[in-house]
Structure 1
């Protein structure tokens, strides 16, 4: 299909981009920001989105790259998925991000799609928002009024809706380092290698002398936003990591992960119904926790 007509603007500075977005909002125009375009362009072609203008951020300096900043890794908004995957800093310091990024679509999309664009798109079936939630990432945004930080727990507001205000641009994301003793895994169930997750689980687990000292679990496509599985995290704290039957132990991990779907509102679509997604959430969370816990 052919998109509806729109104006195209390509600012050359961050200040110009923020000014254009603020000006459009004050005039009541609907403007979309273009980064890699791998999520937006299909919506335009299907006329599920029909903005009056596109603001292309592709030429903006300073928004691309990965930096080690001590206690966290900063990923620029225009960094492509492929650049994230090839980053030694990401693989060594925040491996959960690398594991999830490797499952995003296919190589062609990963070479064009951007890290920040995927986050701002706020699709609950996307892989990276759950990772941001599990790792307690912080989103750094800029407008003509200045800069502000948005915690991941507040960034994803609703289906395809983020906490960015009109006139704001995402600069990048601070991804905390969890340090030694942590293991990571991203478990994804999907129909084909290139498709969205039917259900996905981002897991970070810290082992402590044969028990689970701490766990962070976030779910993909189990509601209108990514979901933090707090009940599972609480149940896993201090639980034995021994398999069922070993020294008479119950399977504490399986028992804890049986709460993975609590408080969720999974969607129904052509690929799966809510009950099937609930079942997948419980099973995949168990797999992810075991893999992350070694």
Structure 2
């Protein structure tokens, strides 16, 4: 199947792109890396009258560190994130997660902004943004908005981004001393969409967590922080406490059945990942060996 007919415009600047979006409204779609948009066009899941190509806008590329903030331009490709020494030093969770995003051909073209704006609930990067407490920077003709990642993802393929705005950057607080991270996903094959996945970030002091953030993906209509379980684990973790947190997690998740996995399977895998995460980050193999789930 091929895409329905559409007009094409190659934006010369962010301002030019915004002018086109304002003029065409819901009938326009933004093209960055194209790894999500092009399949949707070819399957005729969407029917835009105009595709606005922002792929040539150098101002939306690059990685910079200033004032304890790591800023990533929206058109920065996955492969650039994987190779960046700044990402490895200040947001190593991203370095690890990128290796699980699809396949090399996709990572060579896909962009961080495109992934976040697409908002696939089974995607790795939106969950990483929650775990890292990111701020999503979007721009419209009226100016910029900075949206906490927890408020940006609103549903399946839905975000707080309006049709007249462009996602231009991501801002991350740099990893602090004693910062630790965890990333793992269950998938049928490497590169497939995850059945269940977990991205986590925390600091460890005195054998206990402070500020633990566990963001799950592929267990709901958007990436989800384990808000009920996290407070229980910001203490000296015992097998009994971990079991209590597992029960709290199971109650707060509401996954759906589909052809890939049942809701009960996803809920079970989420609990397994939480135990593995806590055990690994604290260096406590006893927590994983004891069957806390």
State the TM bucket, normalised to the shorter chain.
Answer: over 0.9
Alignment of 1:208-219 (within 5 A): 208-219=205-216
Q: 2:234 aligns with which of 230, 233, 237?
A: 237
**How many corresponding residue pairs?**
283
Deviations 1:68-93 (A, max 9, x none): 12312101000000000100010111
Are 1:277 and 2:274 counterparts?
no
CA deviation after TM superposition for structure 1 residue 30, in Å? 1.6
Query: Does structure 2 retain, via aligned residues, the 8 Å contact 1:91–1:98?
Result: yes
Equivalences for residues 158-169 of structure 1 within 5 A: 158-169=155-166
CA distance in 1, matches of 2:121, 2:278: 21
Structure with bigger helix share is 2
CA displacement, residues 69-128 of structure 1 (integer Å, 9 cap, x when unaligned):
231210100000000010001011111111111110011110000011000001100001
Q: How far did residue 57 of structure 1 move? A: 0.5
Contact 2:208-2:282 at 8 Å conserved across structures: no
Identify unmatched segments of 5+ residues in structure 1: 241-248
Residue 76 of structure 2 aligns to a residue whose secondary structure is: coil
253-262 or 92-101, larger mean C-alpha shift? 253-262
SS in 2 for 1:230: coil
Contact 1:187/1:287, CA 8 A, preserved across alignment: no
- 1:8-27 equivalences under 5 Å are 8-25=8-25
Which of residues 241, 266, 273 is equivalent to 1:252?
241
CA RMSD, Structure 1 to Structure 2 (Å) = 1.4
- Measured after TM superposition, the shift of residue 290 of structure 1 is 2.3
Counterpart pick for 1:70 among 52, 62, 67: 67
In structure 1, what is the equivalent of residue 282 of structure 2? 293
- Over residues 24-49 of structure 1, what are the superposed CA-to-partner deviations in whole Å (9 max), with x where a residue is unaligned? 11xxx521111111111111111111
Matched, 1:114 2:133: no
Q: Which residue in the other structure is 1:265 paired with?
A: 254
Q: Deviations over 1:237-273 (max 9, x none)?
A: 1133xxxxxxxx5353344234323322212211101
Q: Residues of 1 paired with 2:239 and 2:257: CA distance?
A: 34
User: What pairs with 1:174-253 in structure 2 (closer than 5 Å)?
Assistant: 174-240=171-237, 250=239, 252-253=241-242
Q: Give the TM-score normalised by structure 1.
A: 0.92
TM-score scaled to structure 2, two decimals? 0.93
The offset of 1:151, in angstroms, is 0.8
Aligned to 1:96: 93
CA drift of 1:291 comes to: 2.3
